[in-house]
A and B are shown apart, each in its own frame.
Chain A
Amino acid sequence: MSVTILIEKCRGCRLCLKACPFDAIKMEDGKAVINYDKCTNCGACEASCRFEAIHVEREEREEVKDLSEYKGVWVYAEQRQGKLMFTSLELLGEGRKLADKLGVELSALLLGHEVEDICQELIHYGADKVIYANHKLLQNYTTDGYTKVITDLINEKKPEIVIIGATNIGRDLAPRIAARLNTGLTADCTKLDIDEEQKILLQTRPAFGGNIMATIVTPKHRPQMATVRPGVMKKMEKDESRKGVVEKVDVNLHDEDIRVKVEEIVKSAKQVVNLVEAQYIVSGGRGLGGPEGFKLLKELADALGGVVGSSRAAVDSGWISHDHQVGQTGKTVRPKVYIACGISGAIQHLAGMQNSDCIIAINKNPDAPIFSVADYGIVGDLYKVVPMLIEEVKKLKEQK
């Protein structure tokens, strides 16, 4: 078994027991004991032990394949209907860093039909080379079509690293490729780096709903594949003076290779997001002074892609309807960001939002209780601060 407790070092402090996400550790006679039926070798216990009393064995297999023929970093450039997805530029920025650290070439992999004009853009954003597969059957993404073309190319050209954006399409495509190539794939990475010694990719990603972070490696298989969470990596500044090579490759694809037909692509307007599921909530309270304040908050919510919430005071005053109410007699919410504007922070309101990832409070009164639970507070007039916030958020979004 790979996880062992070094009994002599174990102090019975129970930190490992609490850290284990699988409830696989119990105490016997004051020492930690692993239940191997439940243990999944995740290593959370080892990380939590202050006394180095836990050892997770990561066995080395005897035969090590010769992996040196795999060279180069590839980035999948996702395009939909001829438009390059913004996340591909983020990938190029990250890929550039990785390629530079390894001293190898960065290639962008572009599949589609008649999308040559994207090639130069890819080079301007960091690619040394663009591998371009042009075929009518690649016009729309299909699992079968794209998987076949990409795995054929990977087998032929042997990159050591392939990174793909974790979009709905990327998450459909990447595991299919990794399975066909029998290589390792790490999902939804928020950080990528190179281990200087071993020259391998360090893939860091959240797990357990974001409650822990794990760093993953693919030591013995190639290519090392990772999908990257959109909106996390930084793209390079566009450099139109950059030069690169565009390699047009042959595509061996037929109708019968593609088993899922795309009948229609439908774009839908943004749906109404409900409070309980919203990631961004902009809430207003008595400090708004009247119902018009909610129009301003809606602008900010829209800019952030979120919804408007309210304290009970505003609802009771008839400024907004009850379904926006957050709190003891309203809804309980857990967004990424909760912005409380003109809300004092009475305990009934806190009961409904205190588990938000990040609480921002804007209030004229520096003694308002809301500031004691806020991560960031601004003492000021919300009618001055919020308009500025709206402008700055819109500016940021435009940059993207």
Chain B
Amino acid sequence: MDFNLTKEQEMVRKLMREFAEKEVKPIAAEVDEEGRFPRETVEKMARYSMMGIPFPKELGGAGGDTLSYIIAVEELSRVCATTGVILSAHTSLGAHPIYQFGTDEQKEKYLKPLAEGKYLGAFGLTEPNAGTDAASQQTTAVLKGDHYVLNGSKVFITNGGEADIYIIFAMTDKSKGTKGISAFIVEKDYPGFSIGKIEDKMGIRGSSTAELIFEDCLVPKENLLGQEGKGFAIAMQTLDGGRIGIAAQALGIAQGALDECTKYMKERKQFGKPLAAFQGLQWMYADMATKVEAARLLVYKAAMKKDEKKPFSVDAAMAKLYAAETAMEVTTKAVQIHGGYGYIKDYPVERMMRDAKITEIYEGTSQVQKMVISANLLK
């Protein structure tokens, strides 16, 4: 068992750390305050082939592996959870399904520009009545001639409104239940497709979270992804991978909060001593650091198993479950350690705490992760 990163992965971390510190961190507070989508960061990332890390060069990607991509999400999230999720949703949810299930034509037409960062990707599964109960899809898709006609709406879609390409799930055959759901590649300009409400959120406020509305939206039949009826399987498999991305985001948030504490505890003095000299706080800090490291090992292992093409669903679920809970705990404690200063916006830890909460909810709530884990292990 080798716990070492490869030289490429080390260099990717170094690159992403530098990029995050210089390009992302300086605007993180403003992005959060204004709820502004950091389009300029996305354009910079595209320039340095950061938007397609795990995809082969021939398909517009960087020719890297899953773990390198995960490290990139971690390093970005460490300074800005918004930027981390933009990359994660785009790569794992928007681009990856096309990589895994797309035809050569679809890969050429859509995956390449997504991997190159020319297009931004998104994934539309959740509906007002279908959250954890994802199978209860009410959006319909009816084949009429050369097009599928989509009707319905999606809600809480990350990158919604900013993305160019959406992977949309709709019911093509109600009678077949989950086997009646299909996946489609939808371009933002297709007639009948519009963006509804953009949500005002507790955290990851720069991430554009939108309602998608389909009113007789015409999608060319070549844009069916995979086969009719295979949509639900595609969604579940895609979410398995996306889970590792969110776990990496949670890990990054936790690490960022921990790093802020490391700095603050040495600077802040009370009773003539730095906070780092008080045993109660030292113990709190030690617990936090240990949990972050444990989360890291779970996240990296899930990524490695995916790279080794081994089954990784349970690993991904465990990683997301643990990393998200760790992020929530560590950021809450980080605010506590900062005392009054942790509660005001001068310091980033209150934002990190607000950002952490969503990691326990999206791409499968912590409860869903527990379902996945127990279902797999108790069968």
Contacts and interface: CB of A to CB of B under 8 A. Distances in A.
Interface string A313-346: 0000000000000001100000000000000000
Nearest to B348: A328
Contacts of A348: 341, 346-347
Contacts of B267: 347, 350-351, 354
Interface in B321-377: 341, 345-347
B29 A347 contact: no
15 contacts: A312-B346, A328-B346, A328-B347, A329-B29, A329-B345, A329-B346, A347-B267, A347-B268, A347-B341, A348-B341, A348-B346, A348-B347, A350-B267, A351-B267, A354-B267
A350 B347 CA distance: 13
Contacts of A350: 267
A291 to B, nearest CB: 23
Given A312-B346, A328-B346, A350-B267, 5 more contacts: A329-B345, A329-B346, A347-B267, A348-B346, A354-B267
A314 to B, nearest CB: 15
A312 B267 CA distance: 19
A328 B263 CA distance: 12
Contacts of B29: 329
Contacts of A329: 29, 345-346
A297 B252 CA distance: 42
Interface of A: 312, 328-329, 347-348, 350-351, 354
A347 B346 CA distance: 11
B349 to A, nearest CB: 11
A354 B267 CA distance: 10
Interface in B12-32: 29
A350 B268 CA distance: 10
A353 to B, nearest CB: 12
Nearest to B347: A328
Contacts of B268: 347
B348 to A, nearest CB: 9
Nearest to B26: A331
A389 B347 CA distance: 35
Contacts of A328: 346-347
A328 B347 CA distance: 7
Nearest to A327: B346
Contacts of B345: 329
Contacts of B341: 347-348
Contacts of A312: 346
Interface string B263-274: 000011000000
B338 to A, nearest CB: 10
Contacts of A347: 267-268, 341
A256 B123 CA distance: 70
Contacts of A354: 267
B171 to A, nearest CB: 50
Nearest to A312: B346
A347 B347 CA distance: 11
A350 B346 CA distance: 13
Nearest to A372: B269
A348 B344 CA distance: 11
A348 B267 CA distance: 10
A337 to B, nearest CB: 21
A326 to B, nearest CB: 13
B299 to A, nearest CB: 29
B302 to A, nearest CB: 33
Nearest to A348: B346
A310 to B, nearest CB: 15
B344 to A, nearest CB: 9
A351 B267 CA distance: 8
B115 to A, nearest CB: 35
Nearest to A354: B267
A348 B346 CA distance: 8
Interface string B94-117: 000000000000000000000000
A65 B56 CA distance: 63
A132 to B, nearest CB: 51
Nearest to A329: B346
B339 to A, nearest CB: 11
Contacts of A351: 267
A312 B347 CA distance: 13
B169 to A, nearest CB: 43
Interface string B232-252: 000000000000000000000
A312 B345 CA distance: 13
A346 to B, nearest CB: 10
A122 B159 CA distance: 72
Nearest to A350: B267
A350 B269 CA distance: 12
A351 B29 CA distance: 17
Nearest to B263: A351
Shortest 3 CB-CB contacts between residues of A and residues of B: A328-B346, A329-B346, A348-B346
B276 to A, nearest CB: 14
Nearest to A328: B346
Nearest to A331: B26
A347 B341 CA distance: 9
A350 B341 CA distance: 14
B4 to A, nearest CB: 18
A14 B218 CA distance: 71
Interface in B33-69: none
A315 to B, nearest CB: 12
A329 B29 CA distance: 9
B163 to A, nearest CB: 32
A354 B264 CA distance: 13
A316 to B, nearest CB: 11
A329 B341 CA distance: 12
A153 B268 CA distance: 62
Contacts of B346: 312, 328-329, 348
A328 B29 CA distance: 12
A285 to B, nearest CB: 15
Interface in B160-182: none
Nearest to B345: A329
A351 B347 CA distance: 11
B154 to A, nearest CB: 37
A350 B29 CA distance: 20
A351 B268 CA distance: 10
